[in-house]
Amino acid sequence: MAGIHSTVKQLIADNGKEDFLTASEILLKFADNIINHPNEPKYRKIRLANPIIENKLLPVSGALECLFEMGFIEDGEFLTFPTNIPPTLTLIQVRNELHTAIKLVRSSIGGPSTGQATPAVQQPSAPAVRQVPQRSRQQMQQAERLFFKKIESSLVHVLSYERRDFQLKAKSIIPMEELNKEAQSRYSAIQAADKDSSSIGLQDCFLLSLLAWFKNSFFKWVDAPDCDMCQGKTRGVGMAEPTQEDLRWGASRVENYRCDKCNRYVRFPRYNDPGRLLDTRRGRCGEWANCFTMCCRAVGFEARYVLDWTDHVWTEVYSTSQRRWLHCDPCENACDKPLLYECGWGKKLTYVLAFSKDEVQDVSWRYSSNFKEMMSRRQEVRENWLGQVCFRLWNEKNKVVPEERRKEMERRCIVEVVEFITQKKNDNDLSGRTTGSLAWRLARGETGSPSQASSEPFVFTPTDSEKQNKILHVRYNCAKDEYTRVSNGNEKMSGFVSCLSKCTNVFRKEEHDWKMVYLARTEGSPIAALSWKFDLKGLKVKNIEICVKSVTYENGVVSWRLCSDDKCAILRGTDDLKSVSELNGVDSMTLTANLSGGKGDVAWQHTQLFRQKNDDFDVYPFEMKIHLE
């Protein structure tokens, strides 16, 4: 198979034989239908929500990529093979490679080695329990060789983060003065709060600022690149051959797109070189985690590049004050939420490995609250083999470091093992994935559960300085996903849920095509609500100025209420601050937004809060000034 397409290689290498055969036979059926019935439109559409596609095809590594390789393009809730073109040579080649691979795999496990195994796609009557086929010693050794090759490749890659020229380049780009100032403000606010903050260091606050800057100001998510000629929207048409320049920057995979407006072809190289990514500043999770890990090393953090075998990557950063590794996902601006993927996105994790210049660690246990279920899926290699490999590589790297550093690494390893064996509780404050198209998220089962609520209600209470100045002034910028408490030294709080009293069925939506961002109901939710609570601790309201921007479409409804125990004001969504006098004299209140209505499958999108351009960092669609007596 010397000339085999990379997507077919991925399908073979990244999956067990059973999953490979099931997915390949479905893919083969799709290809045969187009080849044998080129004029039948019904064979050119694949509905992503079809149960057999969701359960048997999309979760398999490389399957979606094979469809794109064949020529299918994303089209809303469908993948579509363009009706205006005949079956392509690439489609036929991928079809033939799948057919050959199926025969070889079936032969290796004693199944039929000839004939086409391409059953019709039918909805199963009940979900089947996965049976892991017994593998011969030779087959197991082959699987472990492939697994080790993946480990080895990642260990070589992370050494690029140590290049001095890359680190200097990254540090010259990062707004150090601004982030340090913001971190100091955050740190001071934590110290002033009436709670134990001894384990939180200034570096931890800087990490949060770095994450927010990277997400909101520096890196850009790309589903499909804009046309570089007319700036029109493009659609994927398969893969392109990498040039020598592409390969120079580690882009062995190049996606090909065609502009809807001018029909120009647009290449999208998937760069793996962190130095190059500091210039392009765009991509998907691979590019995001790659470049962010580089930035972390540049500012002096100890950082690990984390590879999830079920197709995601992120970063871990060591907190010297907390003496532990912190999960950091730059795509989501999420820090220290390790159960985000299993409990929030609904991922079925298997292997999660962390890599740095010093070590490789199996950190899967940090990211799961159900060890038994995860272990049932870890069938790719022998557990004792993986443990021995990680220990051997860790030991080899630490043989050459100074004795003091080696002792520190041993201490960290022990602490980490203790963390791993401690069973974790499901965290309800975890949202579904917010970056990427619906197809991208459906393919990985990462749209999350329909209801997410904050487990610890937040209440605004006046600080000493706010009492003295007789004002509580807070505002929210949706582009940054950040609150600013103006009346408390411009204190910053990241994430719209961080200051909410209650939240049901709401997430932050980024429209990369339209370059807009807003809060909306989670997909499929008929209603949603969120509220902010203010307790003035005996002080009385003199007057309130408030701005709550909301927009509706079709028959969507957003209702705003500002209420105390015995008084209420009905508000309208506006762009400007409006004076509200109905609650003068009260000492506590709750602001609530209820979202409902809308039409069709996108009804959730017909009620939007705080809609603004994704680069409007100085515009505040939510603002509240409470003047105190």
d(CA 451, CA 449): 6
d(CA 159, CA 156): 6
* Residue 59, Cβ density class (10 Å: 0-12 exposed, 13-18 middle, ≥19 buried): buried
> Could you please report the per-residue DSSP string of 372-416?
HHHHHH--SS-HHHHHHHHHHHHHHHHTTS-HHHHHHHHHHHHHH
Distance between the two ends of the chain, CA-based, in angstroms?
79
CB atoms within 10 A of CB 529: 17
Catalytic residue check, 312? yes
Taking a C-beta distance cutoff of 8 angstroms, is the pair 81, 95 a contact? Answer: no
Strand order in the sheet with 491-494: 491-494, 482-485, 471-477, 622-628, 541-548, 578-580
* Residue 266, Cβ density class (10 Å: 0-12 exposed, 13-18 middle, ≥19 buried): buried
Catalytic residue check, 5? no
> Hey, what are 612's tokens?
């603004």
Question: Which is nearest to 578 in space by CA: 611, 607, 543, 617?
Answer: 543
Q: Is 566 helix (H, G, I), strand (E, B) or coil?
A: coil
Amino acid at 64: L
Distances (CA, A) of 507 to 432, 456, 599, 623: 8, 17, 19, 19
The residue from 5, 312, 473, 606 that is catalytic is 312
Under DSSP, the state recorded for 226 is P
Taking a C-beta distance cutoff of 8 angstroms, is the pair 606, 557 a contact? Answer: no
> Hey, what are 607's tokens?
């009620």
CA atoms within 13 A on the CB side of 396: 9
For residue 593, list its beta bridge partners.
530, 560
The residue from 205, 227, 285, 296 that is catalytic is 285
Catalytic residue check, 262? no
d(CA 467, CA 33): 72
H or E element in which residue 189 lies: helix 176-192
> What contacts 199, CB < 8 A, 6 or more positions away?
321, 322
Q: Is 219 helix (H, G, I), strand (E, B) or coil?
A: coil
d(CA 203, CA 328): 14
d(CA 333, CA 539): 36
* Sequence-ordered strand ranges (E) for 61-151: 73-75, 78-80
The residue from 14, 246, 308, 329 that is catalytic is 329
Which region holds residue 82: left if phi is over 0, alpha if psi is between -120 and 50, else beta? beta
Taking a C-beta distance cutoff of 8 angstroms, is the pair 463, 599 a contact? Answer: no
Q: Annotated catalytic sites, by residue?
A: 285, 312, 329
